[in-house]
Chains A and B, each alone.
Chain A
Amino acid sequence: MSYIPHTPFETEQMLAEIGVGSIDDLFDAVPAAYRFPRLELPPPMSEMEVASAMLAISEANDHAGDYAIFRGAGAYHHFIPSVVNHILLRGEFYTAYTPYQPEVSQGTLQATYEYQSMMCALTGMDAANASHYDGATSLAEAVTVALEITRHKRRKIILSHAIHPQYREVVRTYHQGRDIRIIGDRGRGDVIDLVEMLDENTAMLAIQYPNFFGQIDNIAALADAVHEVGALLVIVANPMALSLFRSPGELGADIVVGEGQPMGVPLSYGGPYLGYFAIRQKYVRKIAGRIIGETLDADGKRAFVMTLRPREQDIKRERATSNICTNQGLMALSASVYMALMGKNGLRRVGELNYHKAHYAADRINQLGGYAVDASKTFFNEFVVSCPRPVAEINQALLLQGIIGGYDLGQNYFHLEDHMLVCVTETNSKDEIDRLVEVLGGLS
């Protein structure tokens, strides 16, 4: 019976204690006409069989273990030190529940507190929550927070078109029941065009950093313009880029959100990932999700506990601003271990490796006939290449050569048909990059 340990003798003893003749008698309250339906499922499998079935299914995928990968667009193939997975596989961490009983959850609580702290360091913010589901939902929650902070008197949300297209979709899904306007992302305007949309009715303006095209926009004056009308500046940031580039806090952001997957979380076909959410201290009481704080126990020993609990759904119920309960705690632990290992010096070096390799690849691709790299702005580890043929066609040819090519931007942006978003990380060797360039050259 798989994971059920009962022997027939024990079952009999238990039934006798309860005072029923059979287990099925315990279901009398279920209407008889519907009780015990037959299920059309495959037959049971032993552990050996299920392990080989899973292996077979997994191999029917084109994955980064078998291919050189140059695709990012919101999910990144980075090196994950072995320690991360070993810590994650501690049953004490992954088979624990939410730390509602802090006396027996100090491991999760302190690790999460350290995660919050390191996210603050990276983003230049004062406080971070214990996580949201992913970068997209974190942005959607930032909209709620901005509406709360501006007391629901402002109805305009400005989103840059250079925010991940799926994130913008998720924001619209989340807020379809509200009387607000989401603007700014229908055109292809630059940051300066967004500034022109600001007015007294604007609750927030959000940009991505680096933007979806891998570029660092000039946002030096943005925070002042946003704050002048009393709105909030939200920056969606790739934490890996923050190893090198100025922190959003330095740039005047009020809320920083994003996808924490680059920090020690595998690609896993899109999830589970890690939505991080960091904010200025003055707004922390407005945010959703769990927050860990420091306190003392009855003996005066430092300890950690979930705090500001009255914001949350289980206490505030219909007056809560978000229904979030389960979060991505284990992925926050991955990020915590990853950031601790990399630390001040290692993370900077990983960032530089990304930068150098992406620029090497971009230089070489730019020299190919028919291809042109958009070098109008500084980029981090992704860049836009205009191609001589449809991207799908190029990617098909690359795949035959063992390469997963870049993301086809024409899928989301009409004006970027035949444009590929190429991602190069520290995991791409010079050989892989040279091979990519060679195959692309043959397709011009």
Chain B
Amino acid sequence: MDGLQPLIYDIGAPGRIGVNLPEPDVPEAELPTELLRDDLPLPEVGELQVVRHFVKLSQLNFSIDKGFYPLGSCTMKYNPKVNEDAARLPGFAQLHPLIEEAGAQGALHLMYQLQRWLGEISGFEAVSLTPAAGAQGEFAGILMIRNYHLDRGEGQRDIILVPNSAHGTNPATVTMAGMRVRELPSNDQGNVDLDSLRAACQGELRDQIAGMMITVPSTLGLFESTIHDVIDIVHEAGGLMYMDGANMNALMAVVKPGELDFDVMHYNLHKTFSTPHGGGGPGSGAVGVNDKLKDYLPGPVVDIIEGEDDSGAPLYGYVMPEKSIGRIKAFQGNFGMHLRAFAYIRVYGDTGIRDVTRYAVLNANYLRAKLMKTYKLPYPRYCGHEFVLEGHFDDVEEVHALDISKRLMDYGFHPPTNYFPLIVPEALLIEPTETEVKEDLDAFVEAMESIAEEARTQPELLLNAPHTAPVRRLDEVRAVKELILCCAPALPAAGD
């Protein structure tokens, strides 16, 4: 079967090697033959072959460095190159995680500052940098809420309210923490339906409400005008409020979630704070909390262990919060992401951070204003950093959001997020970010307008798209049915 690029296992020759290794400079020890494996079925390719293989693969990808990537809820902003340089400095890249604290004062200082800056940006008392991704930050947050209630003798509080517009990670997190989800409907404004919320919080379940998870601005890109009421209703029932910080790019220096009375939130350093998405990861999902929850943070967190010495530098060290939910990953978090976020905040500083949000919101509203002329805009009001369109036309029934998305590839754009949030039919969730220039936004609008025109005149152009991408649409059913997950030669199996 021919593909775009041969598999690594299909190139090379027996005995070939892609790296130049030294001879041993010590006497050779006797190898324990009976414990050794007979075969190591890895590829045998030369160095240049490996380089070309992966360079060719890279060229099959779309990326931010290549073009406009308006993927809603993912905040695909420019990933500054200087941060990549910083991450590769030997003092960071070659620093062992179990080094004595005295030998890691640079790293600890950086983490301490980042904890404080993130706390300042969101109005929270304390921050832990340990979670490896947004979903892990959510998990930490919900475990904290759970343990908070347990400590107060209210272990029966095990229901977390989740709006039906939520990211899938929210309900999955609740289940993972051993708690129960109760889904809340949205009203016609896309906000949480207050009557349903009141019914849940003031009815017979009142004493079982542990809290609520909500994204602000909502996954529709809208700031809920009733957010205060939502928070009050849940607090009155004895629940705590979790804010999904995925959309923090719409809030920086605009409002502090802590001041709105949220109890806990996670940040996505790989969205808001520019650390690269890496084709799926790594992320970093720091969590911030108020006074109620700070003793429950996942650890370790960085603190000042001894005050300033004569040279003016305090001694930083690790502390496990008193009632910590525990360690959520080995070592102390995705430090490589912490240092990039640190450099990013340092560049914008006190006067610049608000501009990130201001221009992200400007770009989104500009696209919204232009595209609402051609596409149906279900919530016609100012949006935050992203907005939802309906990706279908009443007069061309066969064309769906998916077809518009695939056709955008032919115009050189990455498609928006589609079919999310679930509460909008044929959703196209568009998030331009602040780093895009007006010319590119205009080109995107033109492409969307052409596609709307094509939908009416030549719908097959959409239905069969993409035409110019490296591959056409894929047979996803076949992938599940055949389930080919590995191309390595099989090893002789034992005991099975």
Tell me if B400 is interfacial: C-beta within 8 Å of chain A: no
Q: Which residues of B contact A58 (CB under 8 A)?
A: 86, 89-92, 106
Q: Which residues of A contact B123 (CB under 8 A)?
A: 37
Contact B106 A61 (CB under 8 A): yes
Tell me if A250 is interfacial: C-beta within 8 Å of chain B: yes
Alpha-carbon separation in the docked complex, A23 to B366 (Å): 11
Q: Please name the 5 residue pairs, one residue from A and one from B, whose CB atoms are nearest each other, closest first.
A: A177-B178, A270-B331, A58-B91, A329-B280, A91-B65
Tell me if B335 is interfacial: C-beta within 8 Å of chain A: yes
Tell me if A443 is interfacial: C-beta within 8 Å of chain B: no
Query: C-beta contact mask, A265-278 vs B, less than 8 Å → 1, else 0?
Result: 01111111100000
Question: Chain A's nearest CB lies how many Å from the CB of B154?
Answer: 15
Question: Chain A's nearest CB lies how many Å from the CB of B334?
Answer: 4
A66 to B, closest residue via Cβ? B90
Query: C-beta contact mask, A248-279 vs B, less than 8 Å → 1, else 0?
Result: 01111000000100000011111111000000
Alpha-carbon separation in the docked complex, A292 to B26 (Å): 42
Q: Which residues of B contact A169 (CB under 8 A)?
A: 326-327
16 contacts between A and B (CB under 8 A): A23-B361, A31-B228, A43-B349, A61-B104, A83-B50, A86-B51, A122-B42, A170-B330, A249-B493, A267-B94, A272-B132, A323-B173, A326-B133, A326-B135, A357-B24, A426-B22
Q: Summarize B's interface: helix, strand, loop or mixed.
A: loop
Alpha-carbon separation in the docked complex, A273 to B8 (Å): 23
Given contacts A50-B343, A117-B486, contact A39 B40 (CB under 8 A): no
Tell me if B77 is interfacial: C-beta within 8 Å of chain A: yes
Alpha-carbon separation in the docked complex, A243 to B35 (Å): 12
Question: Chain A's nearest CB lies how many Å from the CB of B352?
Answer: 5
Given contacts A99-B279, A271-B331, contact A27 B254 (CB under 8 A): yes
Question: Chain B's nearest CB lies how many Å from the CB of A219?
Answer: 10
Tell me if B214 is interfacial: C-beta within 8 Å of chain A: no
Please tell me which one of the listed residues A17, A20, A69, A270 contacts residue B332 in the complex, with CB atoms under 8 A apart.
Answer: A270
Contact A3 B109 (CB under 8 A): no
B364 to A, closest residue via Cβ? A26
Contact A272 B337 (CB under 8 A): yes
Question: Chain A's nearest CB lies how many Å from the CB of B180?
Answer: 8
Given contacts A28-B382, A92-B65, contact A344 B107 (CB under 8 A): no
Tell me if A77 is interfacial: C-beta within 8 Å of chain B: yes
Contact A75 B4 (CB under 8 A): no
Q: Which residues of A contact B488 (CB under 8 A)?
A: 117-118, 120-121
Alpha-carbon separation in the docked complex, A246 to B348 (Å): 52
Interface size on B, residues (CB 8 A): 211
A179 to B, closest residue via Cβ? B178
Contact A177 B146 (CB under 8 A): yes
Contact A433 B26 (CB under 8 A): yes
Q: Which residues of A contact B405 (CB under 8 A)?
A: 101
Given contacts A252-B496, A353-B24, contact A270 B97 (CB under 8 A): yes
Tell me if B47 is interfacial: C-beta within 8 Å of chain A: yes
Alpha-carbon separation in the docked complex, A93 to B493 (Å): 35
Stretch at the interface among A196-204, A299-307, A366-374: A299-307
Please tell me which one of the listed residues A23, A63, A122, A298 contacts residue B473 in the complex, with CB atoms under 8 A apart.
Answer: A298
Alpha-carbon separation in the docked complex, A71 to B98 (Å): 8
Tell me if A419 is interfacial: C-beta within 8 Å of chain B: no
Contact B471 A318 (CB under 8 A): no
Alpha-carbon separation in the docked complex, A106 to B368 (Å): 31
Tell me the residues in window 103-135 of chain B with beta carbons closer than 8 Å to chain A beta carbons: 103-107, 109-110, 117, 120-121, 123, 132-135
Query: C-beta contact mask, A68-109 vs B, less than 8 Å → 1, else 0?
Result: 010101110100010101110111111111110111111110
Contact B98 A407 (CB under 8 A): yes
Query: C-beta contact mask, B158-173 vs A, less than 8 Å → 1, else 0?
Result: 0000100001110111
Contact B40 A223 (CB under 8 A): no
Stretch at the interface among A133-141, A154-162, A184-192: A133-141
Please tell me which one of the listed residues B80, B98, B354 contacts residue A36 in the complex, with CB atoms under 8 A apart.
Answer: B354
Question: Chain B's nearest CB lies how many Å from the CB of A80?
Answer: 9
Q: Which residues of A contact B91 (CB under 8 A)?
A: 55, 57-61, 63, 65
Contact B479 A307 (CB under 8 A): yes
Contact B21 A245 (CB under 8 A): no
Given contacts A41-B350, A47-B347, A340-B8, contact A329 B470 (CB under 8 A): no
Given contacts A267-B97, A318-B181, A346-B18, contact A91 B255 (CB under 8 A): no
Apart from A10-B437, A107-B57, A244-B37: 17 A-B pairs, beta carbons within 8 A: A3-B435, A93-B61, A95-B277, A106-B60, A121-B491, A124-B493, A127-B485, A170-B328, A252-B494, A268-B95, A295-B476, A307-B476, A319-B175, A327-B282, A343-B42, A356-B28, A378-B35
Tell me the residues in window 1-53 of chain A with beta carbons closer than 8 Å to chain B beta carbons: 1-6, 10-11, 13-15, 17-20, 23-24, 26-31, 34-47, 50-51, 53
Given contacts A134-B132, A246-B37, A340-B53, contact A312 B331 (CB under 8 A): no
Contact B59 A92 (CB under 8 A): yes
Alpha-carbon separation in the docked complex, A268 to B94 (Å): 6
Contact B106 A284 (CB under 8 A): no
Alpha-carbon separation in the docked complex, A227 to B352 (Å): 60
Q: Which residues of B contact A177 (CB under 8 A)?
A: 143, 146, 176-179
Tell me if B478 is interfacial: C-beta within 8 Å of chain A: yes
Contact A29 B382 (CB under 8 A): yes
Q: Which residues of A contact B363 (CB under 8 A)?
A: 14
Q: Which residues of A contact B274 (CB under 8 A)?
A: 3
Tell me the residues in window 316-351 of chain A with beta carbons closer than 8 Å to chain B beta carbons: 316-331, 333, 336-337, 339-350
Q: Which residues of A contact B76 (CB under 8 A)?
A: 97
Given contacts A120-B486, A326-B133, contact A106 B26 (CB under 8 A): no
Contact B352 A44 (CB under 8 A): yes
Tell me if B74 is interfacial: C-beta within 8 Å of chain A: yes
Please tell me which one of the listed residues A2, A13, A118, A360 contacts residue B27 in the complex, with CB atoms under 8 A apart.
Answer: A360
Tell me if B314 is interfacial: C-beta within 8 Å of chain A: no
Tell me if B84 is interfacial: C-beta within 8 Å of chain A: yes
Contact A42 B346 (CB under 8 A): yes
Contact B60 A107 (CB under 8 A): yes
Alpha-carbon separation in the docked complex, A65 to B96 (Å): 11
Given contacts A13-B438, A23-B358, A357-B26, contact A87 B335 (CB under 8 A): no
Alpha-carbon separation in the docked complex, A270 to B315 (Å): 20
Tell me if A308 is interfacial: C-beta within 8 Å of chain B: yes
Tell me if A242 is interfacial: C-beta within 8 Å of chain B: yes
Contact A268 B336 (CB under 8 A): yes
Question: Chain B's nearest CB lies how many Å from the CB of A162?
Answer: 16
Given contacts A94-B279, A249-B491, contact A339 B42 (CB under 8 A): yes
Please tell me which one of the listed residues B27, B95, B339 contacts residue A54 in the complex, with CB atoms under 8 A apart.
Answer: B339
Tell me if A399 is interfacial: C-beta within 8 Å of chain B: yes
Tell me the residues in window 145-170 of chain A with beta carbons closer than 8 Å to chain B beta carbons: 164, 166-167, 169-170
Tell me if B174 is interfacial: C-beta within 8 Å of chain A: yes
Tell me the residues in window 103-131 of chain A with beta carbons closer than 8 Å to chain B beta carbons: 103-108, 110-114, 116-118, 120-122, 124, 126-128, 130-131
Given contacts A27-B361, A95-B277, A126-B486, contact A271 B282 (CB under 8 A): yes
Tell me the residues in window 464-496 of chain B with beta carbons closer than 8 Å to chain A beta carbons: 464, 466, 469-476, 478-480, 482-496
Query: C-beta contact mask, B6-36 vs A, less than 8 Å → 1, else 0?
Result: 0111001001111101101111110110011
Please tell me which one of the listed residues B21, B139, B366 contacts residue A18 in the complex, with CB atoms under 8 A apart.
Answer: B366
Please tell me which one of the listed residues A41, A57, A336 contacts residue B120 in the complex, with CB atoms under 8 A apart.
Answer: A41
A110 to B, closest residue via Cβ? B57
Please tell me which one of the listed residues B78, B90, B139 contacts residue A3 in the complex, with CB atoms under 8 A apart.
Answer: B78
Q: Which residues of B contact A292 (CB under 8 A)?
A: 485
Question: Chain A's nearest CB lies how many Å from the CB of B421?
Answer: 11
A123 to B, closest residue via Cβ? B491
Alpha-carbon separation in the docked complex, A134 to B55 (Å): 26
